[in-house]
Structure 1
Amino acid sequence: MNSPADSPMDSTAPDRPLGARDRDDEGRARNARPRDGLGRPLPYGADGVPRQPEGVVRPPEETVAQAQRLLEEGKPFHAHEVFEDAWKSGPETERELWRGLAQLAVGLTHAARGNATGGARLLRRGAGAVTDWSASASGQRRPYGIDLGEVADWARRLAGDVEGGVTVDAGVRAPRLRG
């Protein structure tokens, strides 16, 4: 049997044998390719946007502030990763809130990449999720200062624009989480 050293090399990553997978220290698959601001993979060795570290437990206010900064910088893919950390590490009662916000960030990502169908679908799904969470949380409309009604309205408007053929600049069309 051939060892990785005997394998042909990947032309996009000359230091990696063909078919080799990126793995973290625990052996889980991780894509180490650099990415642009919208999360699209770039060739190995290219300068990309630094990725958000995974599994970071942040206070909710810090999550909102960091995600807002990334959204304003036109990096909704990276904002989604921040929301995803809150979704996975936060209290069970808030998981749907953070998941809905992550869906909104992914919807904006797809819209900015030119994927109108996927972008609109995720924007509407995220708007529904934060609206449903608000209703189930005794009508809580402003958790951590986030105006969920305004954020849901933003997502629905953007979904309509995307379906209407409007080109989306992620930084320009980023939501204001805190009114």
Structure 2
Amino acid sequence: METERERDREPRRDRDPEGRARSARPRDGLGRPLPYGAEGVARQPEGVVRTPDSTVREAQRLLDAGMPFHAHEVFEDAWKSGPADERDLWQGLAQLAVGLTHAARGNATGGARLLLRGAGRVEEYARGGAVTYGIDVTGLAAWARGLAARVTAGGGDVDASAEAPRLRVSR
């Protein structure tokens, strides 16, 4: 049987109003937790339903700001709230963003795996003429494969802002 003293030594988990575990720790631009009380980057609200166009615009803004972890959360909302037949597109884009996150954090192996997985997923989704909302699927896959190869080969530090991909073909 657990004593009160043992319970007090266990770290308490932050919970949302429904009782689900949610970390309230602030995070940096790459989504890494910071100590409580530190000034972090504002988080993306969860469960936001956006149009595909506003999803891409918001994710691009976050990628350009060097915040791929937060862009991943925007794509995650799209796959959870969008049509089931578009899930692979949004999941693939989320994997690309979190792959960039890991690469920028110095996790070359994890970053490369996610970049390659995301590249394959968005390309597979686009086969057969699926709607891509103007997203440059081919260019993104090439970008992801190139970055994955570079980080795997020990190509140096990855600056998330400088490496941010263009989600749509420039006009």
TM-score bin, normalised by smaller chain: over 0.9
How far is the alpha carbon of 1:91 from its aligned partner?
Answer: 0.3
Give the structure 2 partner of residue 158 of structure 1: 147
The alpha carbon displacement at 1:20 in A equals 1.0
2:4 is matched with which residue: 2, 6, 9?
Answer: 2
Q: Distance in 1 between matches of 2:120 and 2:40?
A: 33
Partner of 2:105: 113
TM-score when scaled to structure 1? 0.88
Q: Could you tell me the percent identity over the aligned residues? A: 68
Residues in 2 aligned to 1:127 and 1:163: alpha-carbon distance in whole angstroms: 16
Q: 1:31-42 maps to which residues of 2 (within 5 A)? A: 31-42=23-34
Contact 2:103 2:111 in 1 (8 A): yes
- Root mean square deviation of aligned Cα: 1.6
What's the TM-score once normalised by structure 2's chain length?
Answer: 0.92
CA distance in structure 2 between the aligned counterparts of 1:115 and 1:149, rounded to whole angstroms:
25
Match of 1:44 in 2: 36
SS at match of 1:145: coil
- C-alpha displacement of 1:139: 2.6
Matches within 5 A, 1:29-178: 29-135=21-127, 138-140=128-130, 143-166=132-155, 167-178=157-168
> 1:144 aligns to what SS in structure 2?
coil
Instruction: Check whether the contact 2:72–2:97 (CA below 8 A) recurs between aligned residues.
Output: yes
Count of matched residue positions in the alignment of Structure 1 and Structure 2: 166
Query: What amino acid does structure 2 have at the position aligned with 1:148?
Result: V
Report what 1:27 is aligned to.
19
Moved over 4 A (4+): none
